[in-house]
Structure 1
Amino acid sequence: MKRVFSFLLTLCLLLTALLSGAALAEGSTQITIGLVGEPDTIIPYMYTADKDAMVIMQMMPYLFKRNDETSIPEPLMLESCEFDADTLTYTWKLREGYTWTDGEPLTIDDVIFTLNTLASADYTGGASTNVSSIAGYTEAHSGETVGMSGVQKVDDYTMTVQLSAWDPTFLGYYCDPGAILPEHVLSGVSFSDWAKTDFAEHPVTYGPYKLVTWEHGEYIKLVKNEAWAGEPAQIDTVIFRFAESATTFVNAYMNGEIDMFKAPIEDVETLAFMDNTKTYVCSGSNYPLYPNLIKGPLSDVEVRRAILYSYTPETIAKAVFGDYGEGSCSVFVNRNWAADKSAYPYTEDHDKAKSILEADGYVMGNDGYYQKDGVTLAFTSLCTGSEQNDLLTLWQSSLKKSGIKVNIKLVDWSVMVETISNQETADYGTYTFGGGDGDPSGLMVLYCSDFDAAKGGFNFNRCGDETLDALWYAGQAETDQAKRTEIYHEINTYMLDNALLFPFVEKNTVWVANGTIDGVVINSLSNLVNLPSFTK
């Protein structure tokens, strides 16, 4: 019995050493990253969550990456990407030298196979959108043809991709996600059978790291892929350790059990004071307030303008999120190339807000709130969480100084969606939900008349008129980046001048990392780590 106990104890200590990096070969480096939740899959184009993408992107990098400053897609695995605006045709030239981990060369045939697979009638995952703007997609997806007419091979490392119509979001699909599938492994395998193949647990990949162990319920272990032809990885071994919540990783980090994780905002300050700790602040979610434009007091543009003079977004953001929040001053996320921070025309000025209301026929009541025709200037702001409630409470207090009454109503997400879907009967003034970065044309579904909720779209507050609609479509159709920027700046100015939304706050994401790790790069859109640049 003593021998058995001794063996088990030795085994436990050995496992602990392996996970902590103590058993690494001399001179080797290892980091352990906390991952909230175990990946559901590591098969590209089957996954739906960041926890899956975090692992996949280390083994199968994307064709493009986003510029850290502008979020505009740039070639990563491609040597070049040229675009002919007259024919709507991209010419992609793949860098030579890439190989699959089974030794097979990676060529443009694999890229073509990937695009045509996503377009096929057999593929039922969510990434068909990635290729839906390519010529011949409709025929391929219906099963009428095998492959898309818009995808053509030029040589082993060059191809052309012709769009059926200009799509400014197209290249972005190959940043997040944009992995290449191995034709020699998956050709002839039905999409429904992908998860049943060896590829599901032992994928053939090509990136800077490759999978060696997936211990379900505990961790995934990756090691450097020496055959990778791109930027070589500097860390030899990477372990993704799973937990149900980020809170679990707070103690794990403090105890030296992990090197890096995406930390809860409320714990960042404590962790940042630890010796040899670094924090990395990344762009997070944008929370604008969408006013009810067709019913109630906010249908009056003068009331909306008075509100915009009644608060300072930055003050509210800092009060709730501290150094990890910032005020929004644009229709678009602050860091997006379409945002024009200098164009924000409003500063908190309660006297000005009052003068606007009084010129609009409102008079101050005995209760400190303005009235018109005996009706108090009041509305309800919907929110779906305690964090939003905290933000709105500060907004409520600030608007009160201008004589505007805000009632806050905390509801379930489903209730909010049901409420805002029928504005003719809905009793509310504003609602909010978070949005991220990406091509600004994606926001037209929220602000363009063609996407009105009454038509089944997402424009719940019925924003949009002929001028605004024309601008959104012009921004979507323009292929010149400088001209696109001008158009979206014009959209921003028009929407702010007409008070069609209330810019509010942005909540950033914070990664906490062991100070011995250098070269940390965070994917600008998804806030996932890009490991090859890390050193330790």
Structure 2
Amino acid sequence: WEFSDDAKEITFKLKKDMTFSDGEKVTADDVVFSYQFLADKSYTGRYGSVVKDLAGYKEYSKGKTEEFKGVVAVDEYTVKFSFAEPLRTNLANCTMSIMPEHYYGANWKVGDTSAIEAITTKPIGSGPYTLEKFQEKEFVSLKRNPNYYGEGYFIENIVCKFVDQTTDIVELTSQEVDLLPGVIEPEKINEAKSKDFMTFNSYDRSGYGYTKFNCESGPTADKKVRQALYYGFNIKEFVNSYYKDETTGDVLASVQYHPFSQVSWGIDDKLLSEMTEYDFDLDKAKSLLDEAGWKVGSSGYREKDGKVMELNVAAMPEHDILNTLIPMWQRDWGEGLKIKLNIAYLEFNTLLDYVIYNSDENVDKWSIYFMATSITTPDPHSLYSEIHSDYIGTGKDNTARYNNPEVDKLLDEAKSIVDKEEAKPYYNKIAKILNEDAPIVPVYANTYFDMYNKKIKGLETSPFCDWVKALKHAYIEE
């Protein structure tokens, strides 16, 4: 690829031997179509932030024109991306997966992506594997793509099996499965290590487990309430018990008070020293709730304007971490702070429906949820769509529904700065504001253990190379 002199345009030359899994050629028109889809006014999925900075996005996404000038096919194998500004993030935004126009776009009309969304469960792509069979909630079977143009990917067949957290280590050690990535529990790690046929890769996770508060609806829309819950959440107790390796005495996780990856260039020792550490303090939490107008009433719970303070916890059933966290919240928030907790156990897809895919309709049904994230880049810009107010709403990434104009401004300014050291102060300030506003509460930053059978060779995983990427060089030793 090459940049224009003003760095607003990036022109790519496609390899001419690339094909989709059905044998059709990958062309510049497919690239254009893929980005038109993401920018379409009817698109409600994720990753919409990658098209926001392209030239003509506003006009196209609002349906004012059917021509998206941000991505243009120069010829069959040349595509040009045009951006409104020369941003540090532009090149990364040119790396979305490409969709075949002849398949997904056959019945597509600008302004109506329903025909595309209707066939997303029967995917065609240009990657190293094709979908052979998908059994919902059971497994996905993949077969090596015979038309794949690239190198590597020596394993012919892969089955991704849905396993329960309570039995995953049993399936691994009984050799029902060969690879269990991202293991975090010390007892599971030690169980796998005890087997002669097992090996592992370990590394600092680029990501963390977190709780998010609903910043738009209910008691948690008040910053003081969120801060009170933070002080009333004994995170260190959780980390030091849940992640303690009883064999060695080591704790395989740490507590952090910023929303960036622990291996991000956006953090440094100075920033870490300036973070408010919400050490467990029920008295401080009670004081903040009193200040917010929530005081213990005749019901025995905190009340305000005649209403009992209720927190609706959206939780996944049979989840190891939540099985530990929820009793702690019931003890400290419920009994300690006199808050009525309602626990709703939801299947994972239902939880996603609550907070992402149908979030506008479900906004008043939840106050807090727990999840974990893996961040694929050391650039703190990766959090842009999770905290920018443009991404509040159904299908979008700002699931906390956090809205702070100052943070929006800092995010927009930071992405325009090419030099990392010059951009860092902006992200430092963002981290401090988020630390105070507490829309996201990091619970742990841990070490990942990818546990796998020794017959798998060449699998080299790391913070920014997960097992999917590492498959390129992996093979099975017979």
Q: Normalising to structure 2: TM-score of the pair?
A: 0.62
Distance 1:115 1:136, change over 3 A: same
What corresponds to 2:238 in structure 1?
A: 316
Provide the aligned C-alpha RMSD in A. 5.8
Deviation at 1:474, TM superposition (A): 2.6
Match of 1:512 among 447, 451, 459: 451
Match of 2:247 in 1: none
Distance 1:141 1:297 in 2: 32
Contact in 2 for aligned 1:447/1:464 (Cα 8 Å): yes
Residue identity (%): 16
Residue in 1 that maps onto 2:328: 394
SS, match of residue 468 in structure 2: coil
Where does residue 434 of structure 1 map in the other structure? 371
Q: Which amino acid aligns with 2:468?
A: V
Q: Return the alpha-carbon distance in structure 2 between the equivalents of residues 361 and 219 of structure 1.
A: 51
Question: What displacement does 1:277 show?
Answer: 1.3
Alignment check: 8 A CA contact 1:389 1:410 kept = no
Kindly indicate whether the alpha-carbon contact (under 8 Å) linking 1:522 and 1:528 is maintained by their aligned counterparts in 2: yes
Q: How does 1:398-413 map to 2 (within 5 A)?
A: 404-411=337-344, 413=351
C-alpha displacement of 1:492: 0.7
The answer to whether residue 257 in structure 2 is matched with residue 329 in structure 1 is: yes
Match of 1:238 in 2: 156
1:135 aligns with 2:25: no
| Residue 490 of structure 1: how far off its partner (Å) | 0.8
Cα distance change on mapping 1:321 and 1:527 into 2, 3 Å: farther
Is 1:495 the counterpart of 2:434? The answer is yes
Map Cα deviations across residues 57-85 of structure 1 (whole Å, 9 max, x no partner).
xxxxxxxxxxxxxxxxxxxxxxx45476x
CA–CA separation in structure 1 for the residues paired with 2:334 and 2:115: 59
Match of 1:119 in 2: 36
Instruction: Give the 3-state SS of the residue equivalent to 1:432 in structure 2.
Output: strand
- What pairs up with 1:5-404 in 2 under 5 angstroms? 80=1, 82=3, 86=6, 88-94=8-14, 98-100=17-19, 110-116=27-33, 118-119=35-36, 129=48, 131=51, 133-136=53-56, 148-152=68-72, 158-164=78-84, 172=92, 175=95, 177-179=96-98, 181=100, 189-190=106-107, 209=128, 214=132, 220=141, 222-223=143-144, 230-233=150-153, 235=154, 237-241=155-159, 243-245=161-163, 253-256=172-175, 258-262=177-181, 268-269=188-189, 270-280=191-201, 282-283=205-206, 286-290=209-213, 299=222, 301=224, 308=230, 313-320=235-242, 326-338=254-266, 342-343=272-273, 345-347=275-277, 354=283, 380-385=310-315, 386=317, 387=319, 388=322, 390-394=324-328, 397=331, 404=337
Q: Contact 1:381 / 1:406 at 8 angstroms: preserved in 2?
A: yes
Matched position secondary structure for 1:278? strand
Contact 2:28 2:75 (8 Å CA) reproduced: no
Contact 1:288 1:502 in 2 (8 A): yes
Q: Distance in 2 between matches of 1:344 and 1:356?
A: 21
Q: 1:404: Cα distance to partner?
A: 4.2
Q: 1:165 to 1:261 in 2, by over 3 A?
A: same
- Quick one: structure 1 residues 216 and 347, their matched pair in 2 at CA, closer, same or farther if it must change by over 3 Å? closer
1:532 aligns with 2:435: no
The alpha carbon displacement at 1:169 in A equals: 6.5
- Partner of 1:471: helix, strand, or coil? helix
Q: Give, in whole Å, the separation in 2 of the partners of 1:326 and 1:309.
A: 17
Shift of 1:160: 2.4
- 2:210 partner letter: Y
Task: Return closer, same or farther for 1:168/1:317 CA change in 2, 3 Å cut-off.
Answer: farther
Shift of 1:383: 1.8
Q: Distance in 2 between matches of 1:481 and 1:273?
A: 44
Q: Unpaired runs of 5+ in structure 1?
A: 1-79, 363-369
Aligned-pair distance for 1:497? 4.0
How far does the alpha carbon of each residue in 1:171-194 deviate from its partner, in whole angstroms, 9 at most, with x for none?
Answer: 55655x51464x7x7699446999
Q: Provide structure 2 residue ranges, at least 5 long, that are not aligned to the other structure.
A: 109-113, 245-250, 304-308, 346-350
Task: Give, in angstroms, the shift of residue 162 of structure 1.
Answer: 0.2
1:468 Cα deviation from its structure 2 partner: 3.7
TM-score, normalised via structure 1 length: 0.57
Amino acid at match of 1:88: K
Give 2:111's aligned residue: none
**Cα drift, residue 346 of structure 1:** 3.7
AA in 1 matched with 2:9: T
8 Å Cα contact 1:119-1:132 kept in structure 2? no
Distance 1:115 1:310, change over 3 A: same
Deviation string, structure 1 residues 403-436 (Cα, Å, up to 9, x no partner) = 74454320255889789845xxx9x9x5234363
Name which one, 1 or 2, has greater alpha-carbon Rg.
1
CA 1:440 to 1:112, structure 2 compared with 1: closer, same or farther past 3 Å? farther
From the superposition, tell whether residues 418 and 383 of structure 1 become closer, same or farther in structure 2 (CA, over 3 Å): farther
Q: Is the 8 A contact 1:284 1:508 kept in 2?
A: no
Residues 521/374 of structure 1: CA separation in 2 closer, same or farther (3 Å cut): same
Determine the C-alpha separation between the residues in 1 that align with 2:424 and 2:126: 36
Contact 1:90 1:162 in 2 (8 A): yes
Q: Measure the CA separation in 2 of the matches of 1:101 and 1:295.
A: 48
How much has 1:489 moved relative to structure 2? 1.6
Give the Å deviation of 1:493. 1.1
Q: Give deviations 1:189-233, integer Å, cap 9, x for gaps.
A: 446999999xx79x6x765x466x9467687464586x9665434
Distance in 2, Cα, partners of 1:515 & 1:319:
30
> Which residue identity is paired with 2:325?
L
Q: How many residues align?
A: 425
* Contact 2:235/2:280 (8 A) holds in 1: no
Shift, 1:514, TM fit: 1.0
